[in-house]
């Protein structure tokens, strides 16, 4: 099943009706108290194929732009490769991909890194449906499976995976510390957790001019975090991983290779068809002007953490890129 099959052609009238319906769903979020249900609603009703920027993919992430990718498809794939490289993904791995979106990173990993099996976990029933259909079309149903579940209560046995990944999804989880505990439980001894995540930028790294607007800070943090248990900067993130039992924890920032290039790309695409079909509310918020509002308050980090092997603890090799800003 191709990407275009998830984006039926729309008349201008149908598009406007869809936008109005999506605005209604956004408004209804005020009356959804539980965080998992709230984000399930967002991804079931709003963040569908119609509202993604990719031309040949259904990635829902900001991408990794370090090596000058030309499109958001390429930047999304680069971010997926970065996570896989940090995980040391290989043919013996059983992967649990938490907050798996519509499956693009899993299909890329299976093709380029060849793990034994991938299980995607998602709170969105619609995205599970889409990713399952795409896996079947690609002939991957025997090795790539999608299940409905919460990151804070993973529907998987203890010690059943060698790698756990979460690609730009933990910002939506009810509690990162609880997710870290669940990832630790699911990992076998010697396993590894890798996340790519949007977190609040530590106050000392926010410019003094930006820091004056406390109201903006509250708004941005309110949008990009799901509550006190998820409002954690890079150093607090590292401490939470250690508290969950992980060792050899590395957390580093790639924000300089995410936000500026993403905003520039979206501005260049402003008059293209793939932009015009996107809901104006989302288009504005994730466009250049929107990014200028929220990016100064946010970090973008990659975290790598190991579960000790059975027997005497041994330091992990920590293979993968190390040239970004470490925290």
pLDDT at residue 38, as a whole number: 61
Of 161-175, 186-200, 213-227, 288-302, which range is least confident? Answer: 213-227
Which of 36-40, 83-87, 144-148 shows the lowest mean pLDDT across its residues? 36-40
Domain boundaries, given as residue ranges, for the chain: 3-298
pLDDT at 46 over 70: no
Give the β-pairing of 325-326 and 247-253.
antiparallel
Question: What was the pLDDT predicted at 319?
Answer: 39
- Is 326 in a helix, a strand, or coil? strand
DSSP 8-state secondary structure symbol assigned to residue 65: -
Strand extents, DSSP E, 69-116: 94-98
Highest-pLDDT range among 7-21, 152-166, 201-215: 152-166
Q: What is the mean pLDDT of residues 128-135?
A: 94
pLDDT tens for each residue of 291-309: 888 888 899 999 999 999 9
| CATH homologous superfamily for the domain 3-298 | Vaccinia Virus protein VP39 (3.40.50.150)
Averaged pLDDT for residues 52-80 = 90
Q: Which residue has the tokens 């930028």?
A: 201
pLDDT over 70 at 318, yes or no: no
Q: Cα angle vertex 251, ends 162, 159, to 5°? A: 20
Kindly report the average pLDDT of the chain as a whole number: 84
Lowest mean pLDDT among 73-82, 105-114, 287-296: 287-296
The answer to whether 127 touches 120, Cβ cutoff 8 Å, is no
SS3 89: coil
E strand intervals along 144-281? 144-148, 161-167, 187-200, 247-253
**Confidence grade of residue 313 (pLDDT, cut at 50, 70, 90):** very low
* pLDDT tens-digit readout, 220-279: 777 777 666 777 889 999 999 999 999 999 999 999 999 999 988 888 877 776 677 777
Q: How confident is the model at residue 82 (pLDDT cuts 50, 70, 90)?
A: very high
Task: Supply the pLDDT for residue 315.
Answer: 39
Neighbours of 311 (CB within 10 A): 8
Closest CA to 66 of 165, 196, 163: 196
The reported pLDDT for the residue numbered 324 is 55
Q: Residue 147 has which token pair?
A: 């299940």
- pLDDT recorded at residue 253: 97
The pLDDT of residue 36 is: 62
pLDDT digits (tens, 9 = 90+) for 4-36: 455 556 778 887 888 788 778 767 766 655 556
pTM (two decimals): 0.85
Indicate the SS3 state at residue 120. Answer: strand
Residue 274: exposed, middle, or buried by beta-carbon count in 10 A (0-12, 13-18, 19+)?
middle
């Amino acid at each position: 099943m191709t990407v275009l099959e998830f984006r039926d052609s729309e008349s201008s009238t149908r598009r406007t009706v869809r936008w109005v319906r999506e605005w209604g769903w956004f408004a209804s979020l005020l009356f959804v108290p539980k965080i998992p249900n709230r984000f399930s609603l967002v991804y079931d009703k709003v963040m569908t194929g119609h509202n993604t920027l990719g031309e040949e993919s259904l990635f829902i992430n900001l991408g990794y732009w370090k090596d000058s990718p030309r499109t958001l498809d390429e930047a999304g794939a680069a971010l997926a490769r970065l996570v896989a490289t940090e995980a040391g993904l290989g043919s013996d791995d059983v992967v649990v991909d938490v907050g798996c979106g519509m499956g693009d990173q899993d299909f890329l990993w299976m093709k380029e890194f060849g793990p034994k099996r991938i299980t995607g976990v998602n709170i969105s029933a619609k995205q599970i449906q889409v990713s399952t259909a795409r896996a079947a079309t690609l002939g991957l149903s025997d090795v790539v499976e999608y299940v409905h579940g919460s990151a804070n209560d993973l529907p998987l046995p203890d010690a059943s995976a060698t790698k756990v990944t979460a690609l730009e999804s933990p910002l939506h989880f009810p509690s990162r510390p609880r997710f870290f505990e669940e990832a630790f439980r699911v990992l076998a001894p010697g396993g590894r957790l890798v996340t790519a995540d949007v977190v609040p930028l530590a106050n000392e790294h926010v410019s003094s001019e930006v820091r004056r607007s406390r109201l903006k800070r509250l708004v941005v943090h309110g949008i990009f975090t799901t509550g006190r248990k998820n409002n954690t900067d890079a150093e607090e993130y590292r401490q939470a991983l250690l508290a969950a039992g992980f060792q050899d924890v590395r957390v580093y920032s790639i924000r300089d290779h995410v936000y500026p290039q993403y905003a520039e790309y979206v501005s260049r695409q402003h008059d293209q068809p793939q932009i015009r079909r996107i809901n104006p509310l989302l288009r504005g918020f994730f466009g250049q002007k929107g990014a200028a509002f929220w990016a100064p308050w946010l970090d973008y980090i990659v975290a790598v953490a190991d579960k000790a092997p059975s027997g005497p603890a041994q330091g992990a090799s920590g293979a993968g890129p190390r040239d970004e800003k470490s925290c």
